[in-house]
A = this chain, B = another copy of it.
Amino acid sequence: MRLSARTHYALRAAAELAAAPPGPVPAERISTAQRIPRRFLDNILLQLRRAGLIHSQRGPDGGYWLARPADQITLAEVIIVIEGVPQDNEAFFGASEPLEKVWATLRENETRVLTGVTLAHLADGSLPTL
């Protein structure tokens, strides 16, 4: 799979929000709970907010919260927001042509798992049969 540190952080931050009681969670809290460098986290949360995945509130008692119920946000969605859509522009010739099908299979497996797990699953520790 190979995901960037940024993406791992985003997923962990999202998990933290999903597990928190309702109401704004300040970045500082997420940062310490998940051991994510504070300024970097700001940056990531900003990206999640711009993508519409979370909402935010400034000022005292401000913070971040999920824009939708945790069981309606999949890991795949978070990953896409951070990594962007994967673009494959490989070409296959002759003997290597069957590789295309192998990659397709791999991608399907991946997608199936990542769209099958939601933030709610992470929050209550009950993973679905994958």
List the interface of chain A (C-beta within 8 A of B): 1-2, 8, 11-12, 15-16, 18-20, 33-35, 75, 86, 90-99, 101-103, 105-107, 109-110, 113-114, 117, 121-123, 125, 127, 130
In the bound complex, how far is the Cα of B16 from the Cα of A99, in angstroms?
12
Instruction: For the complex formed, measure the closest distance between the CB of A64 and the CB atoms of chain B, giving whole angstroms.
Output: 14
Taking CB as reference atom, which chain B residue is nearest A86? B2
Q: Select which of B8, B15, B18, B99 is within 8 A of A90 by beta carbon.
A: B8
Taking CB as reference atom, which chain B residue is nearest A125? B98
Instruction: For the complex formed, measure the closest distance between the CB of A45 and the CB atoms of chain B, giving whole angstroms.
Output: 15
* Interchain CB contact under 8 A, A11 and B95: no
Instruction: For the complex formed, measure the closest distance between the CB of A117 and the CB atoms of chain B, giving whole angstroms.
Output: 6
Q: Select which of B99, B103, B117 is within 8 A of A122 by beta carbon.
A: B99
- A1-B1, A1-B2 are known contacts. Are A123 and B105 too (CB-CB below 8 A)? no
Taking CB as reference atom, which chain B residue is nearest A83? B2
* Interchain CB contact under 8 A, A34 and B102: no
* Interchain CB contact under 8 A, B1 and A96: no
- A91-B35, A94-B33 are known contacts. Are A15 and B99 too (CB-CB below 8 A)? yes
A102-B117, A105-B130 are known; give 17 further A-B pairs, CB within 8 A: A1-B107, A12-B93, A12-B95, A15-B95, A15-B98, A15-B99, A16-B94, A18-B95, A19-B94, A19-B95, A95-B122, A98-B122, A101-B127, A102-B127, A102-B130, A106-B114, A109-B109
